[in-house]
Chain A
Amino acid sequence: MSTPYAKLPAWADYVLIPLINLFVAFVVAGFVVILVGENPLRAAVVLVEGAFGRGQGIAFTLFYATTFIFSGLSVAVAAHCGLFNIGGEGQGYIAGLGIGIVCLAFDSVLPWWLTFPIAIIAAAAMGALWALIPAYLQAKRGSHIVITTIMFNFIAASVMVRALVGYLKPPASMAPQTRTFLEGAQLPKLNWVIELFGAKIRSAPFNVSSLLALAMAFLVWVLIWRTKLGYEMRTYGHSPKAARYAGISEIRIIIIAMMISGALAGMMALNPTMGDQHNVALEFVSGAGFVGIAVALMGRLHPVGIVMAAILFGMLYQGGAELAFEMPAISRDMIVIIQGLVILFAGALEHMFRPYVQALFASLSPKSVGMEAVKGKGA
């Protein structure tokens, strides 16, 4: 069988094609805007201005992006091992339980810089634990991980309702959420970083968990491309057969990859709870776990790409809120459509434009796509 696609230069592969996919997704989204009777170009201007126009907007954009970096990394780590972890939503949600317990226990006695590490461990452990059962079932009994992780999303939702209503909420309160955390469990804001550049911020939830997100992005890069474990994961992702032949334990690699993925998804819960709302409430994840799928696909599973894609989605979330305010016909659900379109074009239809780009490159300079080499091999 011939190789279906000739090689493209790296920049085309990692920058040009994702940009084309993104562009097409936005063009289709533009048609939806026309359908509800608004001007898509003006909508785009409002969106970008809302996200980056003022310091306030930038801080919110980065706040949203932080959550998406975690969930994007979570999807990417599993994907490198050939697993589709669609359960980031549930893993992040259940991590809220660990965070809630830690914060309620320590917020009156410890300062934030001691509570935070404990909460990180609790969140990661809960997320990893929630991914462990689907991982074990996939590895040992061959249960399809996509289905089991979806099921665990629903189970997590039920468990969290039970935990919040039954145990975590203050007895006197009706609202299904914990009491507000004291100062010992409130993460300091990073808004001053943006203010250094002269922008004014009234109040925005951009906080230190963003630094954790960047650190995790770096660690994931080290893990995937610079360690033996990462190499084994990629090997298994490319070809389970080859991995087995090389003596890599299938069970071990699936479980480790999924637990790392779950831990990353769990850490996603730190940002909205300790960083913003200062409590654990019902549905506080609100779809961020699913955004991770789009972010990971858009970022082509590379941490640098994921950070950039996360900022893009942060921009959509923040700008989308402004857009809903400026143009009443466009609700915030526009973001969900864009999210779906990005998953469709950057994920499922990833290769749709590739042949055209290749043809273009081949006609411009045959050398850049390695045409001679391919001909030489007689493929």
Chain B
Amino acid sequence: MSIDWITVLAQIANFLVLVWLLKRFLYRPILDGIDAREAEISNRMNEAVEAKDKAAAVEADYHDKLRALNLSQSEISETIRKSAEDQRDALLAEAAQQMKAERENWQAHLGDEAHKFTTHLHRVGAETLLSLTRKALTDLADETLEERMARHLVQQIKPMVEDLKKAAGDATVATVVSHDALPVPVQKILKAEILALCPNATVTFKTDSAQVPGLMFRLGGAQIAWTLDSYIEGLESLMEDRLNTSAGPKVVTDAS
């Protein structure tokens, strides 16, 4: 057991060289590689954390948007529902108004039809009454209707002749208006009777198709008339009474 000091020095030098070589070719590359990998892992971890944070932020944003969307949807639904209700109310009001207007139109139309019917009934009733009266007078009294009307008019004029003259003032034209032209004998009778009551009058005869059958005497501004209006109205009320009593349901009971 001996120590070779030259070998000792050589081994110290060899060892130092080996330290440098291993530092150059082993430790530094390996440690740098480990450091780089750790840094890469750390970066990836940081990136993962950032990505996780971003994902969390995106998720929160998504939830916020979803909540806002739901809120917006409910608001839109409420708005649509209110709009639909308003529109429904407007349509119902418009329909009610249309129905009211149609009902009024229908009522007016019904009134027109009733007026037309009443007018037609008047005319037909008057013609019928006139025809029946004329035939009855001819058959029973051998007189004409116009002659009877003329005599009846004269009978009406007589008690009122003074009042008529006062009302007529200075007028001297006496006019007899009828629906149809009066026969000449009737005109002569009337003219004679009128001249007997009013000697200064000038008697004229006129026809008016719009006038109800009958006679109308006019002296200046005063006038007196006999027409079938009152008879026709009486006939109408009489027919209505009869129709009302006959149109209702009748209960027939068997006495036996």
Q: Do A and B bind each other?
A: no
Chain A positions near chain B (C-beta within 8 angstroms): none
Chain B positions near chain A (C-beta within 8 angstroms): none
